[in-house]
Amino acid sequence: MASVKLKNVYKKYPGGVTAVSDFSLDIEDKEFIVLVGPSGCGKTTTLRMIAGLEEITEGEVYIGDKFVNDVAPKDRDIAMVFQSYALYPHMTVFDNMAFGLKLRKTPKDQIKKRVHEAARILEIEHLLDRKPKALSGGQRQRVALGRAIVREPKVFLMDEPLSNLDAKLRVQMRTEISKLHQKLQTTIIYVTHDQTEALTMASRIVVMKDGFIQQVDSPQALYERPDNLFVAGFIGSPQMNFINVVAEKQGNDIYLKFGGNSVKLTEGKAKKLESTDYVGKEMIMGIRPEDIHDEAAYIETMPDAVIDAEVEVVEMLGSETLLYMTIDGSTSNLIAKVNPRTKARTGDKIKIAFDANKIHLFDKDTERTIMN
């Protein structure tokens, strides 16, 4: 078990491409950290630098108290699970799991004990004599995890380990990895581009874009208080709606105007906004799909946050329904996640209400959050 520390880490490739810029992060012992971001954001490169598979151009990496910039991967006391599993096809499951221990000259009885113990935890004891090609995707994934577990490393590194599995198996394995983390109590650094994986598994999430950290926080905090427009849009599915608005003061109230519509800010938010110099300026309003309502009762209680919209597409998902809408007098589109009993149908002109407490505001130029 160990903490991991990255201090102002950079990765620059010949030709001037910078994959990771000024990456600083303190990962505590036993933490489950997820690096998430779109393709090419530098998350895998960061993981590979921690693993020692990629040279660090600048900065420092510590595993525990040990400075590991120039330490070979095998001496970093880490184990890695790869996206493609990277199981050795010419070895049996047992040999795959035992390979690392054999190279470290672990006594044979110890190897046998540890492999069987890991296989028991992962429920793959009956597969130990098989070769990888005789296993299903899910079983291969378990073997790859088993290979990492038997080493009893200080840190587990996982590079999109579930992305090759089908949707059902992915959900199942997600839970199993979380259980495994609770059982093993080891530091895990996990890379994914799937925000659902990040939200469901992580103790903290690191959102990355273009090689830079955008925000590091707990899943709940990231969802509720995104630092900028990118994080707000990246975390959450369907993603947050964004509308260009102008804040206007009318008496003691502040209204957000867009097209022919206006939404009144709550007292608390209005006070906050007034303390800034954004009143009268153009901003971006963010509202999550679940914070838009079409029920009559809700519309009646929130008369100051009601707007007109036209339904373009209705997606029934069983437990909820998604409404894809256009707003009158505005080019913006909206997605609302509403009760499946909704009566809205394609082509209907309906009234919808925003939950004014859940409105986020972003600076149009810097894209930083003004208020959550």
Partner 1 sequence: MKTNRLKRNLAIFFTYFFVFCFIIFYMAPFFWMLLTSFQSQVNLTSIPPKIEFANWFENYRKLLNNDKFMLSLRNSIIVSLTTTILTLAFASMGAYAIARLNFKGKSFILFSNYSIQMGPAVAFLIPIFLIMRSLNLIDTLAGFIIAILVFTLPVSMWVLLGFFKSIPREMEEAGLIDGCKRFQIFLEIILPMSRPGLISAGIVTFILVWGELLIALPLTLSKSIPLTVFASSFSGIYFTDYGGAAASAILSALPTVIITLVFRNYLLKGLIEGAVKG
Residues in the chain: 372
Binding part of the chain for partner 1, among 22-30, 76-84, 115-123, 337-345 by CB under 8 A, reads 76-84
Under rule CB under 8 A, residue 14 binds partner 1? no
The CB-of-65 to partner 1 minimum distance in angstroms stands at 21
User: Binding residues for partner 1, how many (CB under 8 A)?
Assistant: 23
What are the phi and psi torsion angles at 137 (to 5°)?
A: -55, -45
User: Of the two residues 103 and 297, which places its CB atom closer to partner 1 in the complex?
Assistant: 103
The region of 75-83, 168-176, 300-308, 343-351 touching partner 1 under the rule CB under 8 A is: 75-83
CA distance 175 to 177: 6
Which among 355, 340, 209 has a CA at the least distance from the CA of 269?
355
334 binds partner 1 (CB under 8 A): no
One of 66, 104, 108, 281 touching partner 1 (CB under 8 A): 104
User: Quick one: tokens of 91?
Assistant: 């070895």
Long-range contacts (CB closer than 8 Å, 24 or more residues apart) made by 167-176: 169/137, 169/138, 169/141, 170/197, 172/138, 173/138, 173/141, 174/200, 174/201, 176/122
What is the crossing angle of helices 137-150 and 108-122, to 10°?
Answer: 140
Q: Is 165 in the site for partner 1 (CB under 8 A)?
A: no
Of 8, 84, 175, 237, the residue at the interface with partner 1 (CB under 8 A) is 84
Asked if 158 is part of the footprint of partner 1 (rule: CB under 8 A), the reply reads no
Our finding on whether 259 is near partner 1 (CB under 8 A) is no
- Out of 64, 100, 233, 238, the residue judged to bind partner 1 by CB under 8 A: 100
Return the number of the residue (134 or 296) whose C-beta is nearest partner 1.
Answer: 134
Q: Is 211 in the site for partner 1 (CB under 8 A)?
A: no
**Residues of span 46-65 touching partner 1 by CB under 8 A:** 51-53
Note whether 73 binds partner 1 by CB under 8 A: yes
Contact region for partner 1 (CB under 8 A) — 67-75, 168-176, 193-201, 234-242? 67-75
Q: Which of 47, 79, 177, 243 binds partner 1 (CB under 8 A)?
A: 79
The Cα–Cα gap between 230 and 217 comes to 14
The whole-angstrom separation of Cα 305 and Cα 197 is 33
Give the CA distances from residue 331 to residues 61, 73, 244, 325, in Å, rounded to whole numbers and listed in that order.
47, 52, 9, 11
Helices (H), 276-347: 296-301
Q: Distance from first CA to last CA of the chain, Å, rounded? A: 36
SS3 358: helix
Instruction: Specify the residue, 84 or 346, whose C-beta has the smaller distance to partner 1.
Output: 84
Rule CB under 8 A: is residue 108 a binding residue for partner 1?
A: no
* Contacting residues toward partner 1, per CB under 8 A: 51-53, 72-74, 78-80, 82-84, 86-90, 99-100, 103-104, 147, 151
